[in-house]
Amino acid sequence: MTQLQVHMFSALSDNYCFLVRDPETGKTGVVDTPEVAAIENALNETGWQLDYILNTHHHFDHAGGNLEIKEKTGCTVVGPKGEAARIPGIDLELQDGDTFELGHQVARIFDVPGHTSGHIAYWFEDSATAFVGDTLFALGCGRLFEGTPAQMWTSLQKLIALPDETTVYCAHEYTQANAKFALTVEPQNQDLVQRAAQIDDMRAKNIPTVPTTIGLEKATNPFLRPMSSDLRDTLGMTGAPDVDVFAETRLRKDNF
Ligand code: ZN
Ligand code: FE
């Protein structure tokens, strides 16, 4: 089995966008459409021809370029069934449990509501690679615009059930700000302390902190660690259910 090819590039002020390609068939997709010019540049640079847009959710910095890209390339627009009415140009609607075939590369689809009500994630199991949009970030998670903390916690649990070595492509470079917050709620986590220093170093050199991995996030991301006694001590929530600790962590980040 050949590996999925991924070409990551920046778009807008802090978005990441991804060309994905099956090397056997040449089938190519772009995960979200934050910025048409950046996508065209990436296609020119790689020489790849676009077959699909793979949307994670409806926000403008994810689906705003759909119609123009579709018109220019004739590609098929694939996206979340739960947001179909808000995904410009959608042709193929996906939901939890579905699979999507990019040539010979198969993505399993997860519904991950919380940031938006129909947000989906794409997991290319054989390549150990996941595209999670604005659901999970390096050291963070998406804001709850259209969902409850309980929904988001359920969504994040689907992602942390993936193998630790899974490479996770999130859609924004938010990591340094996320690290500052994470240190305030889990100050004794030595893995986090170390990672935060690495992140400062990387950002000073303008190196992307994306992708990350499930294993690294499980060890350092406070939104995935409601069971942490350090986090619980900070929040004063020693005996609370995980979902309540998650909700309080998210609330504190909103006000950070
Ligand atoms: Zn978003
Ligand atoms: Fe976004």
Distance 172 CA to ligand 1 centre (A): 9
Phi, psi of 168 (to 5 degrees): -115, 120
Is 58 designated active site? no
pLDDT for position 173: 98
Is 7 designated active site? no
5-170 fold: Metallo-beta-lactamase; Chain A (3.60.15)
Is 134 designated active site? yes
Cα separation, 21 vs 10, whole angstroms: 18
Distance 15 CA to ligand 1 centre (A): 10
Please state, rounded to an integer, the average pLDDT across all residues of the chain.
98
Residues less than 5 Å from ion ligand 2, measured at CB? 61, 134
Is 115 designated active site? yes
Catalytic residue among 22, 32, 51, 57: 57
The encoded tokens of residue 50 equal 């676009």
Distance 15 CA to ligand 2 centre (A): 7
pLDDT for position 151: 98
pLDDT for position 17: 98
pLDDT for position 149: 98
Distance 216 CA to ligand 1 centre (A): 23
Phi, psi of 122 (to 5 degrees): -115, 125
Domain segments of the chain as ranges = 5-170, 175-207+215-254
Number of residues that this document lists for the chain = 256
pLDDT for position 175: 98
Distance 33 CA to ligand 1 centre (A): 12
Cα separation, 104 vs 66, whole angstroms: 24
pLDDT for position 238: 96
Catalytic residue among 32, 51, 58, 62: 62
Q: Along the chain (256 residues), what's the average pLDDT of each consecutive run of 10 residues?
A: 94 98 98 98 98 98 98 98 98 98 98 98 98 98 98 98 98 98 98 98 98 98 98 97 98 97
pLDDT for position 78: 98
Strand order in the sheet with 120-124: 99-102, 105-111, 120-124, 129-133, 167-170, 212-213
C-alpha distances out from residue 227 to 146, 217, 223, 239, Å: 25, 14, 10, 10
pLDDT for position 8: 98
pLDDT for position 13: 96
Cα separation, 205 vs 140, whole angstroms: 21
